[in-house]
Structure 1
């Protein structure tokens, strides 16, 4: 069988722990037998990030800007325990946060819906897409541990030398301070990305923050969204018969739980991180969530929305069998291959991505699945397989579809 040819490389960002192992298996079992796979490879594993002082993360993001499409494996964002475990030089920042800041895009996350697995929230009938702002907030914060009494201030020094000070808190004892920022340009890009995506998929758009408490920070988001909507999108939304509305995030959570789904829920950076995990879990599994970062200048980064599956990795190191769900990682690859094919005019590459997704869904719907899905599947007969067996079964289904 002649392999599908590629014109332009994908930027490939390898990752950590169990997902790194799954990454390699997906390529060997489901991609390389069918595609003359061209990638520009970057090792974002924690050890190599430490060796390069995290320069590899910046290089990978710049390569994404060069080639337009990347696919990323899950990576470790180190905490104090990881610094000790891996003997790191420092507590490196989140690779996802770094890449998002460089690309300045919006992350769209949607659940992978499979027949036989019903959402935990009984009212949900349609997928809910989380649109997550990909810049600033806690991912670009500055923190300080207060060791004793003193006054904490926000100080802004303008280009003209004028200084503005606001007191944060007068500490009488130990405490902690965090400073966050965002920029209007990025918020504007976020808003337009959300409005354009809603028009593309013909779905209502919700946006939620906490402007009643955060009267400057969150209110800026609310105002920018509303101004852009009124000036550029109000008539387009009316023509498409879809709605945009703003609400407080606590009200949004209540609305979401009561809704039937089928809309886009736009959130600030950290809110989107949390809510996408909630939506993914309620629809079935964190390993059943697609994620794509779309930048204002048309760059795409596809990734799994979950972590590195540390618990399974430690079992793997002991030689124990694991049944880790590979779906989100697989859909990161299919999403990137589809977009690469669309941009390069390669219909056979687009068709292959569609076929591989269909094969993976059919495999589950016919009863073969990993342990996490078997626990929630409503199918009367289920066959639980390990990670590699699952990928092999998908390949068998794929061959039937392609033939």
Structure 2
């Protein structure tokens, strides 16, 4: 039964939490007390191995914290019929902070490899459906990692509305002579028919898509909340000149909510909100120095987030934060996958040079938010220091191979001594962290 299952899940959680809490601490100093728990969602492959190391070296020695642990590794998701994913999302709703490791979303090959009961859905999708909210992707900047767009000195944060439009559309192929109409049946029985197109001599294609006021409203709140938390200006991009009613709805809802609930707070933070045409915004973004949040409709966000990621130089330096419309509930993770290629090497017993920075930042961002919710300045400072330790280590020339390639090119970066192995980089951050924490 599901009750037994959740008991089994939670008993495995408390065992794991106790084991984590008693993990040996290498540094002798007072631990920072964290009043409320965070939810830890473990993952798969190389990132799972790095995840355990991050906790052991960089989190547990410094914090006295209750970690609610959920194993979202694919074998346990399969064992619990994916119930563990749902349980973990409910826990995030309860405690307001989730910190997630990268996970495998199974395809045909993975179903065979893990002998799965079925092809389980993406855990990120499942969690997002339960929490609602918007995913914000933000680059991590290091002075010595060159950017494809050199002018981007500050982060550009993309918030993608991950609901509706093309992703929930009905699209059809139609034969010559066919007519497409859009029919609206209202609940009082009133029917309105809109003529779309008459395909006279040639067939073609047609599509109907939609969005809801409720979803757009939630999206708007998440974006305003996130921009305020960063003290960045917010831009919403649409094509309302062409889609006057459809995109016009996004523009109107954002404006109305801003005027009513956020304008004063933005003014106080010395920042602002503006609507921009998507083509204008794309050009502005490229010319800008960065330092803003960009609210994108579903398809635009899909496309632009990859341009932004590449423009900053590395997916290994990209964080992802799900912010709920209440501004309270947050789930942080790395924007990359489980690094299967490195994991295969690891399985053969070969050393790897895998970049753990985005995974460390999932912890720092989640813990920083916990610190804000709890009014715990010391925890906020710890989270900032952890990020500083990662960045300073890279800026001192100590980095994993992917970043060495960004800086020196493949040939030079592959030479011995040009990069650190995964555990060496983590040790370097550990050392830097100990140093920064004692000088505070």
TM over 0.5: yes
Deviations 1:334-359 (Å, cap 9, x if unpaired)? Answer: 12222223333444433322222221
Residues 1:249 and 2:275 are matched in the alignment = no
User: 1:62-111 CA distances to partner (integer Å, 9 max, x unpaired)?
Assistant: 11111111101112233344344434444333222222222222223221
Alignment of 1:394 with 2:424, yes or no, is no
**What's the Cα RMSD here?**
3.7
Distance in 2 between residues matched to 1:177 and 1:135, nearest whole Å: 20
Q: Which residue of 2 aligns with 1:356?
A: 386
Aligned CA distance change for structure 1 residues 11 and 136 (closer, same or farther; 3 Å): farther
**1:331: which partner in 2?**
361
For the structure 1 residues 82 and 268, does the alpha-carbon distance in structure 2 shift closer, same or farther, using more than 3 Å as the test? farther
Q: Find the aligned partners of 1:264 and 1:28 in 2 and give their Cα distance.
A: 33
- Match for 1:185 among 214, 230, 240? 214
Please state whether the residue corresponding to 1:130 is helix, strand or coil. Answer: strand
Q: For 1:325, what is the secondary structure of its paired residue?
A: coil
Correspondence for 2:256 = 227
How many corresponding residue pairs? Answer: 401
In structure 1, runs of 5+ residues without a counterpart are none
Q: Secondary structure of the residue that 2:47 maps to in structure 1? A: helix
Which residue number corresponds to residue 23 of structure 2?
A: none
Is residue 272 from structure 1 mapped to residue 307 from structure 2 by the alignment? no
**335 and 317 in structure 1: CA distance in 2 versus 1, 3 angstrom threshold:** same
The partner residue of 1:318 within 339, 343, 348 is 348
**Deviation per CA, 1:361-384, whole angstroms, max 9, x where unpaired?**
111111100011112237999741
> Structure 2: where are the runs of 5+ without partners?
1-27
Q: Which residue of 2 aligns with 1:25?
A: 53
Partner residue, 1:123: 151
Counterpart of 1:369 in 2: which secondary structure?
Answer: coil
3-state SS of paired residue (2:32): coil
Deviation of 1:243 after TM superposition, in Å, equals: 4.1
Map of 1:375 onto structure 2: 405
Q: Name the structure 2 match of 1:41.
A: 69
CA shift, 1:157, in A, is: 6.6
Aligned match of 2:105: 77
Asked if residue 133 in structure 1 is aligned to residue 161 in structure 2, the reply is yes
Aligned to 2:17: none
Moved more, 84-93 or 2-11: 84-93
- TM-score norm. by structure 2 comes to 0.78
How far 1:305 moved relative to its partner?
A: 1.4
Residue 137 of structure 1: CA displacement?
Answer: 5.2
Deviation at 1:11, TM superposition (A): 0.7
Match of 1:102 among 114, 126, 130: 130
**Which residue is 2:22 aligned to?**
none
Following TM superposition, by how much is the alpha carbon of 1:117 offset from its aligned partner in structure 2, in angstroms?
A: 1.9
Q: Distance in 1 between matches of 2:249 and 2:75?
A: 39
Deviation at 1:330, TM superposition (A): 0.1
CA contact (8 A) 1:100 1:135 kept: no
SS of 1:110's equivalent in the other structure is strand
1:33 positional shift: 2.6
The answer as to whether partners of 1:3 and 1:36 remain within 8 angstroms in 2 is yes
What does residue 294 of structure 1 align with? 323
Query: Counterparts of 2:356 and 2:121 in 1: how far apart (Å)?
Result: 25
Structure 1 residues 137 and 40: alpha-carbon distance in aligned structure 2, compared to 1, 3 A threshold = farther
